[in-house]
Amino acid sequence: MTTAVPSGQPREGTVLALDFGQRRTGLAIGELTLGIAHPLKLVETTDADQRLDRIAATVREWAPKLLVLGLPVRDDGAEHPLAAAVLAFRDALEHRFGLPVRLVDERFSSHAASLALADAGVRGRRQKEHLDSLAAREILQGFFDANSA
């Protein structure tokens, strides 16, 4: 697989993706050279500092070279009400970890994750604990797919 690498982006190494939510933030992991994303875990907290501390533990464990963050966009392409919070979160990630953060349109990522869970027989309230990390996987896989040639 040949990858078109944007300026300033590493060519190899681990990538950590985040599906930001004010209560739950899903994490996914992947390798730039492989271009395959995997759901990792869920960070569940409403406290911004606690969220960053929990993400820091994952950053120490996996040592990513790049962070990919889902940017919510309305179905019609208009700005989503959560976009400002995501941009502030991006700034906090960059400041805390000193890693490049790429924003990816996360439109339909939660829907795709829900469909994948339903296909696996996980429906309704049982999806809650898996949905955000699978949405992060969708975000990361979309990033990999968009950057492969």
> Which pLDDT tens digit goes with each residue over 55-98?
999 999 999 999 999 998 877 777 777 889 999 999 999 999 99
Please give the DSSP secondary-structure letter assigned to residue 124: G
- The pLDDT tens digits of the residues spanning 111-137 come to 555 556 555 555 666 656 656 788 899
Q: Note the pLDDT of residue 106.
A: 79
The residue-averaged pLDDT of 97-101 equals: 96
pLDDT band of 4, cuts 50, 70, 90? very low
Q: Note the pLDDT of residue 12.
A: 80
Please give the DSSP secondary-structure letter assigned to residue 128: H
Q: Report residue 45: phi and psi, to 5°.
A: -170, 155
In contact, 51 and 20? CB cutoff 8 Å: no
Beta bridge partners of 3: 148
Q: Note the pLDDT of residue 34.
A: 93
Beta strand 36-44 with 66-71 is unpaired
What CATH number is given for 14-146 in this structure?
A: 3.30.420.140
Q: Note the pLDDT of residue 96.
A: 97
Q: Note the pLDDT of residue 48.
A: 94
Distance of alpha carbon 106 from alpha carbon 112, whole angstroms: 10
List the chain domain ranges: 14-146
- Helix runs in 63-126, H state only: 83-97, 109-119
Distance of alpha carbon 131 from alpha carbon 116, whole angstroms: 9
In contact, 49 and 38? CB cutoff 8 Å: no
Q: Note the pLDDT of residue 90.
A: 97
Q: Note the pLDDT of residue 72.
A: 85
Q: Which helix (H) or strand (E) holds 38?
A: strand 36-44
pLDDT at 20 over 50: yes
SS3 79: strand
pLDDT band of 36, cuts 50, 70, 90? very high
Distance of alpha carbon 41 from alpha carbon 1, whole angstroms: 27
